[in-house]
Structure 1
């Protein structure tokens, strides 16, 4: 439309200036063209911007409608993107000014970038929902195979998202280098998400709470499985089991293991802390200061280059010392319960002995002995 108007204007111009010198006519004609294009340039950009905005809205609306109709996401992206780009190209063609040499490439690229951002956001959300909560649960569980499970979750969901994204991105006729760049971004997003969740879980306060909860679980299991009449398990064994499980949490939280390369973090922690520090001071054979040098470092030795440190050796040492102090009341409480059960068994044994004596006395005749035995037995039962 604008091009036709241009042709009409310049046809009239050529007629009016036909008697002027050719060189002068051409120079003035070019000057007029430049002035006219300058006047309409902003209007042209505004028209394309309006067309761009409407196409973006149309894309989002049609995509939502297609998904609601039950189409798969990749198929919906292909259908809606092609339809919207075709409408955009037709609108640009109608708005084109042939005499200007302008084109709508920058607006078309911007439109594709916007559509691609919509697709990228979808797969970023997919990765977030698939990885974040699962990784958090796995790290809180802190079992021996935690990082192997985390890697499986990370790699499986990341590759799935990348594959689907690549299929969807094919709708935009991008160069392979552009798709590779987008895939790299998505992979880095997943990696950064994993690192963020791991750092959240490796917060000193959270790790300390996990260690305390794990120790309490061990002691509670021991308490609940120990009836008053059963012989006690060596409390040192229970303490060591609780410490061992808590130290495993510390070793798991110490670094992100991105690959299957083994490391010595757990061994260093065990040899430096578990094998030399115990809660019962009477059994402590090595001064605590003598074992701390092994952990007075900023980095873990013999760790894969692909690993990322979350807790430095010196931080792990400090956290363990805090844990040892925090757990002392818990151990004292368990020891008190154990002593109480021992006393209960002693009273019960004494009562049982008197009761047997009382039964024998019944046969012999003295009723007072029987009464005494029954009274002692009742007192023992009340102490249980």
Structure 2
């Protein structure tokens, strides 16, 4: 066993590896050993943050074994092979290992031992009373089969201890933890009420001083019950249950913890004196004597001096200046000024209390120092907090200045390291300037918090900057890809997706190079680089895919535009004028084929090399659907196999063969529906073209059939010869022809009869007379202007020229009603009429 008398106590003693016999079997108290023990475990530094645990119970009941397993101490245990005998004599003390807060464990000599005999029970009562007086938690170790017994359950001992404790001390709330050893099959829920009832009866039967009459057990004690398995028969279960019980001793002094309310707990620095005095009182077993007159006077006077110095410090103008300055901001030389101020007032205490009892003087000085430091600590904390805020704000300002510098002047990581080191250096200098010599306050936690805040802010700025760089690069990629991808998809050439893949690879490589260059100053690791590059690759592909989906959503409109461009314009991109030579059906089929190829381009995304689709061959069946005989032959050849029928009709499937589901833009069913709608909307354009062609054919075939011409030549030969013999008839017929042609054009007879024969007759009957009168009026006016000019031949020629001019003028100035009629016709009909007007004008001239 190591000695605690040496000033240099081994480290293992502080960790609980060694134990000290605090009180020997004769009742001698080892004060020197206790003093060394307290210093070894640094109990004075714990203040009130410590707990005391004691154990009492019958001899050889496994108390030391329980403590060693529960608190990892090294109390001597009974050697079962040497026989059952007394192992622990007196009171032993040790520190628990790896338990927070600092926990002091006391192992008491067992009760009811044969070594002391039946009559020598004084030490048992003394040690039990000592344990209750100094401990926060008292473990009462008892065998399970002793529950309900009188002596074995320590009932008389507890009764005596309760009585003497209330007479000698002011009881404080203590936890009585009954540990039932070698638990049997009886449930704990059955054993616990029995124990609680026994303790309640002991408390009620114990004589009490008048001031404690009627007090309840719960006012001074908290009763807890737990049970453990047999250590030898069930070692694994025993260790598990001990581990669970050990967890309850962690943070035992916290509110609601196992240590009770801790009223009257002395600081760690006074623990030695407290338990030493308690043992003296218990040993003498008499009322507390008044202290010696010398000590009493020293106590009163030192307290007065301490209060006077504390009051003087609070009223000192220098302290007010320091306190006010600390609350407002930084105070230059704060540490030196405050240390000098505290030294002046503490020196005054030392001078006035120099001749009083040393122990009392020292105790009261420690009390004064504690009070003084508690008073000035808020100001010190304010100064240190201001130092921390100033260093942090300076770091943020430096980072802001860095952000405004030209790109490439200094990398982000280099700037962060420089600014961080500078901020921490400024904080350390400020703390050194604020150091108070009388206190040992540690600013390590605040410095760590400053370091964490700097790192967090740097990470935030870094994330924002990198996010901005990535967003900028992605914006450039999006701008470069969106327009180009849209143009390629709109063109819908056979190599559209190959061109898109090349475009995507090219722009992505450029963006990756730009991104790596922009983030080089941030010193990202390889994993971060790979993540950002993968994200950029995914983003670039997503831009193309979004554009593809956008174009696919307008597939019908794109198909109609391609059809209109191909169908309505010739190879030189000029509008078609449908003539008899144009094969409208072939042109329409070709235009639809081009639209169908565009649909196949927009049906799926083909940016991957492993996609080998058959979309275009499948869609070609829409342009040239198989005949019924072919379908029937395929159905018969499949021998009734439904799968082969589906293969023969790929547009009946829900997805394209060889195309992943995620790459599908338009499913086969959607393509089929789009084609059906496209075909329905383009049928009208084709029918209009056919109608225009037919109208052109009709407008250019005014001559009768060849057989009629031959009949007219044969039957009208005499009349024709008569006309040749008399030119006047020829002139009359020519004039009549011109008048009729003018009426034809003026009245637009072809357009009138387009709505039916009856409608045309009725319309012409209302327009014929006004038109003839208008023409005669104009001829009369022209005739009057030409009167007296020329001979009869020139007169005839002039009249003919004026008639031509009149006809052309009428042709160019149709009435509004006639224009409205012509506007109702189709584009093909308007073209035919324009050509008719041109022919008429040429013939008239």
TM above 0.5: yes
Matched, 1:321 2:676: yes
Residue 243 of structure 1 is aligned with which of 592, 617, 628? 592
Unaligned runs of 5+ in 1: 64-75, 278-282
Cα distance per residue 1:33-81 (max 9 Å; x no partner): 9989986787677556645654564345334xxxxxxxxxxxx246464
For 2:695 and 2:391, the matched residues in 1 are separated by 85
Residue 96 of structure 1, CA deviation: 3.5
For 1:284 and 1:215, the matched residues in 2 are separated by 28
TM-score by length of 1: 0.72
1:92 aligned partner? 423
Matched, 1:302 2:653: no
Cα 1:173–1:217 change in 2 (3 A) is same
- Alpha-carbon RMSD: 4.7
Cα distance per residue 1:153-184 (max 9 Å; x no partner): 21111111111211222211221111111111
**In the alignment, is the contact (CA less than 8 A) between 2:548 and 2:605 conserved in 1?**
yes
2:243 aligned partner? none
**In the alignment, is the contact (CA less than 8 A) between 1:214 and 1:242 conserved in 2?**
yes
Residue 145 of structure 1 is aligned with which of 495, 500, 512? 495
Cα 1:242–1:177 change in 2 (3 A) is same
Matched, 1:332 2:687: yes
Matched, 1:346 2:695: no
Matched, 1:212 2:571: no
Cα 1:224–1:164 change in 2 (3 A) is closer
For 1:255 and 1:83, the matched residues in 2 are separated by 48
Matched, 1:131 2:462: no
For 2:396 and 2:404, the matched residues in 1 are separated by 12
Between Structure 1 and Structure 2, which shows a larger proportion of strand residues?
2
Residue 255 of structure 1, CA deviation: 0.9
For 2:592 and 2:685, the matched residues in 1 are separated by 12
Residue 195 of structure 1 is aligned with which of 520, 545, 570? 545
**Greater mean deviation of Cα atoms: 116-125 or 33-42:** 33-42
2:405 aligned partner? 62
Cα 1:55–1:197 change in 2 (3 A) is farther
**In the alignment, is the contact (CA less than 8 A) between 2:399 and 2:416 conserved in 1?**
no
Structure (1 or 2) with the larger CA radius of gyration? 2
Cα 1:61–1:299 change in 2 (3 A) is same
For 1:78 and 1:267, the matched residues in 2 are separated by 59
For 1:57 and 1:161, the matched residues in 2 are separated by 27
Describe the SS at the equivalent of 2:581. coil
**In the alignment, is the contact (CA less than 8 A) between 1:158 and 1:187 conserved in 2?**
yes
Residue 110 of structure 1 is aligned with which of 447, 454, 460? 460
Number of residue pairs matched? 352
Describe the SS at the equivalent of 2:675. helix
For 1:191 and 1:207, the matched residues in 2 are separated by 21
**In the alignment, is the contact (CA less than 8 A) between 1:140 and 1:201 conserved in 2?**
yes
For 1:141 and 1:44, the matched residues in 2 are separated by 67
Cα 1:54–1:198 change in 2 (3 A) is farther
Matched, 1:181 2:540: no
For 1:61 and 1:121, the matched residues in 2 are separated by 19
**Greater mean deviation of Cα atoms: 101-110 or 332-341:** 101-110
Matches within 5 A, 1:33-48: 47=390
**In the alignment, is the contact (CA less than 8 A) between 1:232 and 1:338 conserved in 2?**
no
Residue 120 of structure 1 is aligned with which of 470, 474, 478? 470
1:73 aligned partner? none
Residue 365 of structure 1 is aligned with which of 706, 709, 724? 724
